[in-house]
Amino acid sequence: MKVVINNCFGGFGLSPLATREYAKRKGHECYFFIIGEYAKDHNAVYKPATLEEASGKSFFDAYTQPVMDSAFAIREWKIERTDPDLVAVVEALGEKANGSCASLKVIEVPDDARWEIQEYDGNEHVAEVHRTWD
């Protein structure tokens, strides 16, 4: 089975382009929002953004509707790493799929293996699950 991992320090993340392509494969539109300013209470105020504007930012939010508070957010940390659509997007886009702190890689894991993703400072690898006792 194919699994997507992050192969560098930083953390797993999709680029805006990869997020849009993933949403498209799931049958959703994709709308981007970036921090436009900060309110007096120091909370971020988001504004709609184009794909190009979101691509120039380290952080962006993506939703399936053009209004943030009534839409479903597209969150890469909720995507199953074995999702065939995620695998296809990463394979098709290559380096263009990488988020701002990511270097995504598709690896093969035997279908009968019990595995988990382990990470150190965002750099991930797949390890076979073993039993441990305390």
pLDDT at site 71:
77
Which helix (H) or strand (E) segment holds residue 45: the answer is: strand 44-49
pTM value?
A: 0.89
**Any domain includes 134:** no
- Domain membership of residue 17 (yes or no) is yes
Residues 6 or more apart in contact with residue 126 via CB below 8 angstroms: 3, 5, 107, 109, 115, 116, 117, 118
Q: With respect to residue 37, please indicate whether it lies within any of the assigned structural domains.
A: yes
Split into its structural domains, the chain has a count of 1
Express each pLDDT in 38-96 by its tens digit. Answer: 888 888 888 999 999 999 887 899 999 888 777 788 888 889 999 999 999 999 999 99
Categorize the per-residue pLDDT at 124 as very low, low, confident or very high, splitting at 50, 70 and 90: very high
In which domain, by residue range, is 120 found?
Answer: 2-128
